[in-house]
């Protein structure tokens, strides 16, 4: 956890930050928060502030709101700090992962949040930053770290995990039906030479895919998803973060979660249903589950 905003502002920023991030479902998100935020000064936590698109829209729509923004990606925080500079007196931006939501909130000394937002998954910044290796559409080093300070990379996973471990993460995090075939192909190839670039991995996966399945979507899509989730411990973090957020939320507050794939969806729904069945507090949690069927990243 790091609140050193000046460090973020010194980083070089890619292109126009408003051009590279248009928030998904902005108006729907604002409408879900409105009942909790419209009539009073309130605290909102954007647990995945990213490049600040949703944070900017919340701060503009609700002029009395104070916002805490968390993100593990310092490049994204640098963009958010610049984008939100006009709201500087109403924001706190913190370099942290969203399962640190409670200690981050405590350090501000602010009241309990009436709104908490999670926009899960990979961002356009990650996909468009070719040298970070998130996209199978471009050849780049197999990094995939959302936090550059972390040590584990996708290349390290491919070099170090045994066949059973690779198969398991492809099955569990990628829901990949050809996980066993792909794991065998990776093990065989790394004996010949290290797998360190996304283009090399795509070639391996394409060669291991039966011809009859080549038109069923890009063979690398689910493997890349699985590697990204493993590198960043995304599901483990989410499993810790959602209960922490629910516990932190003020009475009559709202949590909005945008989820883009079934593994995230399941974790969030189960936590919400557990709380609703235990407390009968209908209406205090709002959940958006979004799919992106045309996404080919």
| Residue pLDDT, tens place only, 178-226 | 999 999 999 999 999 999 999 999 999 999 999 988 878 899 999 999 9
Q: Tokens for 162, please give them.
A: 């045994």
Pairing state of beta strands 91-95 and 254-259? unpaired
- Determine the pLDDT at residue 22: 72
- Determine the pLDDT at residue 5: 42
CATH class of 128-232: mainly alpha
CATH 3.40.50.150 spans which residues of the chain? 5-125+234-289
* CATH superfamily membership of 5-125+234-289: Vaccinia Virus protein VP39 (3.40.50.150)
Instruction: Report the chain's mean pLDDT, rounded to a whole number.
Output: 86
Beta-ladder partners of 95: 2, 71
> pLDDT exceeding 70 applies to what percent of the chain?
84
pTM of the model: 0.85
Cβ atoms of residues 36 and 253 within 8 Å: yes
- Determine the pLDDT at residue 246: 93
pLDDT at 65 over 50: yes
CATH 1.10.150.170 spans which residues of the chain? 128-232
Is the pLDDT higher at 261 or at 90? 90
pLDDT at 66 over 90: yes
Q: Transcribe 56-99 into DSSP letters.
A: HHHHHH-TT-EEEEEES-HHHHHHHHHHTGGGGGGEEEEE--GG
- Annotate 261-297 with b (16+ C-beta within 10 A) or e (fewer): bebbbebbeebbeebeeeeeeeebbbbbebeeeeeeb
- Determine the pLDDT at residue 294: 39
Cβ atoms of residues 71 and 46 within 8 Å: no
């Amino acid at each position: 956890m790091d609140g050193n905003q000046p460090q973020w502002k010194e980083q070089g920023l890619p292109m126009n930050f408003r051009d590279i991030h248009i928030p998904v479902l902005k108006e729907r998100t604002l409408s879900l928060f409105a009942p909790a935020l419209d009539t009073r000064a309130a605290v909102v936590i954007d647990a995945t502030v990213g490049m600040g698109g949703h944070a900017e829209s919340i701060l503009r729509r609700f002029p009395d709101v104070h916002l805490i923004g968390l993100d593990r990606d310092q490049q994204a925080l640098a963009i958010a700090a610049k984008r939100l500079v006009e709201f500087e007196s109403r924001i706190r931006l913190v370099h942290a992962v969203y399962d640190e939501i409670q200690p981050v909130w405590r350090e501000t000394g602010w009241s309990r949040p009436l709104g908490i937002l999670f926009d899960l998954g990979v961002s356009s910044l990650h996909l468009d930053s070719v040298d970070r290796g998130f996209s199978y559409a471009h050849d780049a080093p197999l990094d995939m770290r959302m936090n550059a300070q972390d040590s584990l990379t996708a290349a390290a996973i491919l070099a170090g995990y045994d066949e059973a471990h690779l198969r398991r993460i492809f099955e569990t995090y990628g829901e990949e039906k050809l996980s066993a075939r792909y794991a065998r192909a990776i093990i065989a190839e790394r004996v010949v030479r290290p797998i360190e670039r996304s283009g090399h991995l795509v070639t391996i996966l394409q060669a291991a895919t039966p011809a009859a399945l080549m038109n069923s979507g890009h063979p690398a899509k689910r493997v890349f998803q699985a590697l990204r989730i493993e590198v960043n411990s995304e599901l483990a973090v989410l499993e810790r973060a959602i209960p922490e957020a629910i516990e932190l939320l003020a009475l009559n507050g709202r949590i909005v979660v945008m989820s883009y794939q079934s593994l995230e969806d399941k974790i969030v729904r189960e936590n919400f249903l557990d709380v609703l069945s235990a407390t009968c507090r209908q209406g205090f949690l709002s959940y958006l589950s979004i799919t992106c069927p045309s996404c080919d990243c």
